[in-house]
Chain A
Amino acid sequence: MSAQFVIFGLLAVTSVATALAMIFSRNAVHGVLFMVGNFAAVALLYVLLGSPFLAAVQILVYAGAIMVLFLFVVMLMGPEPAPLWEHIPGQRPLALLFGLLLAAGLIAAVNVEELTGVPGIMSQEVLERLGQPTALAQTLFERYLLPFEVTSLLLLIGMIGAVVLAKREKHELQAERAPREGGAE
């Protein structure tokens, strides 16, 4: 029965290692790939926690859609585009120090023996009988109907935003093409 511990240990080490590699990677493409590794490791942890559905969503949405979008933009802009903020002297050591302190504080806070809140509505038997995705869907469409509708609005707004902010109009495209073609000649 210690197999679970071994798997957990492996996945934990993988996720921490990929996370560290991501924040220290010089090349943004490598960073994206480390992130995909991290998402995969965490997805497997979800399986270990008995949520295969969330694991699948994690792979599809995060590793599949979001990281591909990141990769696309990185490819468009080159690996190391101009920084948005000016360099603050001593930023690196201060950031590392703050990170360590935060980790220590948070670990101290969450390292609890057990969670003693009120037991939830879903007992382990109910969960297993319904099959996990079914139970999730039932909760989603009954109790969480309003948040679900808000999400649809959120995605619509995200779409409108992306189009308004990034789409080029016809005349802009023409204006952009004209000098380049002129230059090539």
Chain B
Amino acid sequence: MIVPVSYYLVLGAILFSIGVTGVLLRRNAIMVFMSIELMLNAVNLSFVAMSRALDSLDGQVFVFFVMTVAAAEVAVGLALIVAIFRSLGSADVDDAHVLKG
């Protein structure tokens, strides 16, 4: 490995901090959710870099599982966002209907 592991770790730290900043900055649920994915992505990068540096596979296996968990979490989270949108959104549609009628 030519690029030292610390380069990757520092890049991971920067990406992670950007993700945290996004979480604090945005108030829209979807953007917050995407910033969380960015944080996970940064963690994954650190894991792979460390796994390489340590000659151990545990880190890569960890990343594999993190991706699976992220998929399940996104499915549930987006279902909730859709459910909220539906209860608020359908109310809006009704309002518009009343106004036009």
Measured in the bound complex, the distance between the Cα atoms of B38 and A158 in whole Å is 21
Task: List CB contacts (< 8 Å) of A59-103 with chain B.
Answer: 61-62, 65-66, 69-70, 73-74, 76-77, 80-87, 91-92, 94-96, 98-100, 102-103
Interface of A is mostly: helix
Contact of A91 among B19, B25, B48 (CB under 8 A): B25
Does B18 contact A16, Cβ atoms closer than 8 Å? yes
Q: Please give, as numbers and ranges, the residues of chain B lying within 8 Å of A176 by CB-CB distance.
A: 90
Interface of B is mostly: helix
Summed over the interface, the residue pairs from A and B with CB atoms below 8 Å come to a total of 251
Task: List CB contacts (< 8 Å) of A12-30 with chain B.
Answer: 12, 15-16, 19-20, 22-24, 28
How many residues of chain B get a CB closer than 8 Å to chain A's CBs? 81
Measured in the bound complex, the distance between the Cα atoms of B6 and A7 in whole Å is 16
Contact of A69 among B45, B52, B53, B75 (CB under 8 A): B75
**Can you offer 10 A-B residue contacts whose CB atoms are under 8 A?**
A19-B18, A54-B48, A73-B30, A84-B29, A110-B12, A111-B6, A119-B56, A144-B65, A147-B65, A158-B76
